[in-house]
Structure 1
Amino acid sequence: MYLRDMHVRPRQQMAASSNRSERSGYLLEGLALVLALGLLLDAVWPAPSPVAQTSPGAQMHHTPSKSDALAARSGVRPWPSPAPWPEMFSRLALDDAGLQSGDLGEMRQQLDWLGLQGTGALPAIRDQLQSGQDIDFHALGVAREMGFDSLRMALFDALYRIGDTQAEVILRLALEQSLVPGEIAALGRYLEELAPGHYQDEILQQVRLAFSLADEQGLDGQDVGPLFLALVRHGDERALVELEQVNPRWWGNYAAVTLANLPGGVGLPNLVNQSLIGPLRNVRAQLALQLLAQQAEHSEAQWALLAHVGSDQILDRDWPEFARLLAGTYRIQLERPRDQPDPVQSTTQMTAFTPGGGQTLYGVHYRQSSLGQEQLAPRLELIAALYEVTDNPVARRELARAYETLSTLYMAAPSY
């Protein structure tokens, strides 16, 4: 208790009291002097106030200092504690329209913090994922700035970067609970990289479940393309059963690209059968023939290409693109390249507004052939054979250009 809080009688009463001894008077005068000195010191040097209780929101708007980053690198828990996470992101998830530029910077800081925090961040990530709340960065137009389409996708990436057993368990549980095509594809990729081959059955099971719930509007209005991408990454011959059941009017383009990219070329016989419908009359057959040209290192694709080119089944207007597919300077794929590295010249988005949520493929144009060195010689032999079986001048011109493109690379290869 401070001296200023003590109850002291006025000095006038002390002087008037006749029964006080002279010593008592001196003592009280001394106490009064001490009190006055204490008040003077309090005015110049105030006593410390109790520590203010800050709200979680106030803690979240704290800007991390250099000492915070140093503490993180040394293993000490830095700003902030995991507790504020759910409240911050819940606020933004419930009111996307209230997202401000400061919120973006703060969220990027939070995501960076996760990487520094390591396993200490796992409870916060787990709680946020279990809350079911999300922020759609893509819908808000800030996916490029954030680096992800949604908050949940960013948290999946953080778990992958943490990479220990507990993070792997959270990723697996998220896979089992998700029916969002993009999330299934991302979770499958992360789990496969953390434990190759270990989660293949779980990934494909979740893909099948999502397919079973899709209808003419897709899957709750979402594009199902990422489910086919998951089949490409994790499928094998068993995926053929799923693809054979796909409604071609809904997702025939997605299924065709998936068949072309299954491991070991197991889906190519199905594409050959589709191409036999006649590429001059059928769009599905045209796409199948294009994909066979893209996968021309396989024998099943080669004999089909020779048969179609020999019978002049490719329109003159389609030959430039067809020849680029053979040369590897053009590819048709399910996803847009994440970045535009130097080999990629441009990307064309091709959307078909079909039932089932529509279909979007990407045509990627390369500055030079994307073929591996071991693919050059067989591809040159095939192009030469195709040149011999056609008398079409347009076909010969485009095949000659493709041959020149690949022969230049072949001659420059170190093993030549």
Structure 2
Amino acid sequence: MGEERSVVLRKWFDLMMLYKEELAQIITYECGKPMSESLGEVAYSASFLEWFSEEARRVYGDFVPSPAKDRKILLLKQPVGVASIITPWNFPSAMISRKAAAALAAGCTVVVKPAEDTPLSALALAELAEKAGVPPGVFNVVPCSRETTPAVGEVLCTDPLVAKISFTGSTATGKVLLKMAADTVKKASMELGGHAPFIVFDSADVDQAVSGAMASKFRNCGQSGIHDGFMDKLGRAMDAELRLGHGSEPGTTQGPLINTRAAEKVVKQIADAVSRGATVLKGGKRLEGSFMEPTLLSDVTTEMICTKEETFGPLLPVIRFNTEEEALAIANASNVGLAGYFFSQDVSQIWRVMEALEVGMVGVNEGLLSTPEAAFGGVKQSGLGVEGSKYGIDEYLEVKYMCFGGLKP
């Protein structure tokens, strides 16, 4: 019953908030986030349990007027069945709860394969799910090594008992999983790669734009008229606000990257950009282990790798542009379209750019837009379907049409 599922999900939410410090410590120690960010993720993660505990009671069907007097038309919503959930390391708790909460609210059982780098957050969620009253076998976690990940992923995508796949990760991996799921025509939702443009127009409040850039840490485009002022303020904000260190140390804002491969990727992107004419204004160096200095690049062009690949590191490349059309051309040139951000005080421009950006989510004068009430999803090769919002639960439901005939008028 939806009401029973609602109660259990709410208990799970309450337990997450009760143990938020412990859960945050796990996130910090297994993926490197500062404690402040980890605490934020725990609250964000728990918010999906709260949201879908409420949505569990609102899985409505439809009664449709019939063209014939001797029959009634009903559209029912039913759970699809077993859902495979495959998640990344960058949000080791929230990416699980965003999917699992919707699945359980709909009445599905789930099998979670967490990233090999961050299995402990998933196991902690499973422990709390059991304490909350989630029945045995309903929320399952299958940790695995990097070597066994392909084999486990194949089972989760091909087993006939699995009805649904939900994956967050790279576009390349998502395509592989979709191909494997195609043989049994499984329902699939994919949140894949993005390369979010962050556009600052001449009319923007530069201080507000700098704050948004610091919060979101995405690549940036600055219009020529305000480019130099924006870069100066952004550089000074980086000096004032960013502090490298272990995530458990007070005051740390930048922890280590997830592993040495991630640091090597950032170094490669910086070297490529510099070799093509970019200038390092701040940072640029790899430190011990997987620590990277926060890096600000200017004189960036669209030919550089850092404008084509996801980075997953503290690298901000800035491209100067002259016109709105040029900014949109740069932003829309990518084959992915997850999120996009821009800063402007021109109302007409806001509507034009918002509609023209080829992304699934747009932040206007705002660098942080994730919330359980809103639909999270992309367009183009950034994925299929949405998570969160009232639409997120539909990814785990199927509509059954019932025609009730033989009625006497």
Query: Relative contact order, CA 8 A, sep 6+: which one is greater?
Result: 2
TM-score by length of 1: 0.25
Larger radius of gyration: 1
TM-score by length of 2: 0.25
**Larger relative helix fraction:** 1
**Larger relative strand fraction:** 2
